[in-house]
Amino acid sequence: MTGATAARGRIDKREAILNAAFTVFARRGYDKACVQEIADEAGVAKPTVYNHLTDKETLFRHAILAAADAVTAENLAIVERLRDPGDDLSAALSDTAYRLLEVCAAERARDLRRLTYAQHANLPDLTATVLERTAQGVAEALADRLARLALAGRLRPCDPTVAAEQLLALLTGPLERRSQLGARDVPDTELRAVAEAAVRTFIAAYGT
């Protein structure tokens, strides 16, 4: 067996632990989650968890950040598609909007949001970091796209940061209320409706 394989095994185990941690934290919340349960979920012994991640807190931070990066990657890929919106801008935006909602409504994003939010009192810096890596990043990427569209005359001249912020608000606000902060699964049709409504309002305000 090669050293590379062994290293791979180590990394796999670490990843397994982080995944298990996210799962369990999402299931129980930070405080009620116990390291033993995470270890069980990951199929390792408790001290192995500590060997890899020091601390319950460290474990939490890494699990959260990993999830945040995954969610962000998905969202950025979606926004990126707006680089080439085609002829029907409204349709392109609706598509983007719907896809973003899909990601946000998915379990991982909801759990991530909830867990981060919940620990704000104890781990204030984590909130900031996560926000930066998720919402902020996506908002900026979207602002970039909107700026280009405005420059191309397909949107009225505007502050692209505010425009992006508002478009995202029009998506996530209604989503949150309808999902009851993630308690309820929002059916696909409703997702689509929210996306349509958001884009309609957005175009009314920012379209040419």
Partner DNA sequence: TATGAATGAGCATTCATTCAT
Partner DNA sequence: AATGAATGAATGCTCATTCAT
Q: Does 26 bind a second copy (CB under 8 A)?
A: yes
Q: Does 77 bind DNA (CB under 7 A)?
A: no
Measured from the CB of residue 115, what is the shortest distance to DNA in angstroms? 14
Instruction: Indicate the SS3 state at residue 198.
Output: helix
The alpha carbon of residue 120 and the mean position of all alpha carbons in its chain are separated, in whole angstroms, by 17
| 132's tokens | 């930066």
- DSSP alpha helices (H): ranges in the chain? 3-28, 35-42, 46-53, 56-80, 89-105, 107-118, 124-131, 137-151, 160-178, 188-206
Residues 6+ positions from 40 with CB-CB distance below 8 Å: none
Give the range of 39-47, 72-80, 111-119, 174-182 binding DNA by CB under 7 A.
Answer: 39-47
Q: Does 192 bind DNA (CB under 7 A)?
A: no
Show contacts with a second copy in window 97-116 (CB under 8 A): 114, 116
Measured from the CB of residue 118, what is the shortest distance to a second copy in angstroms? 3
The answer to whether 166 touches 145, Cβ cutoff 8 Å, is no
Nearest to a second copy of 72, 119 (CB atom): 119
Q: Does 133 bind a second copy (CB under 8 A)?
A: no
Contact track, DNA, 3-32, x by CB under 7 A: ---x--xx--x------------------x
Q: Does 124 bind a second copy (CB under 8 A)?
A: yes
Buried b (16+ CB within 10 A) or exposed e, 172-208: bebbbebbeebeeebeeebbeebbeebbeebbeebee
Which partner from the list DNA, a second copy, none does 40 bind, CB cut-off 5 to 8 Å by kind? none
Measured from the CB of residue 53, what is the shortest distance to DNA in angstroms? 9
Residue 208 has, within 13 A of its CA and on its CB side, a CA count of 13
Measured from the CB of residue 163, what is the shortest distance to a second copy in angstroms? 9
Return residues touching a second copy (CB under 8 A): 26-32, 114, 116-122, 124, 127-128, 131, 135-136, 139, 162, 165-166, 168-170, 172-174, 177, 180-183, 197-198, 200-202, 204-206
Return residues touching DNA (CB under 7 A): 1, 6, 9-10, 13, 32-36, 44-48, 50-52, 55-57
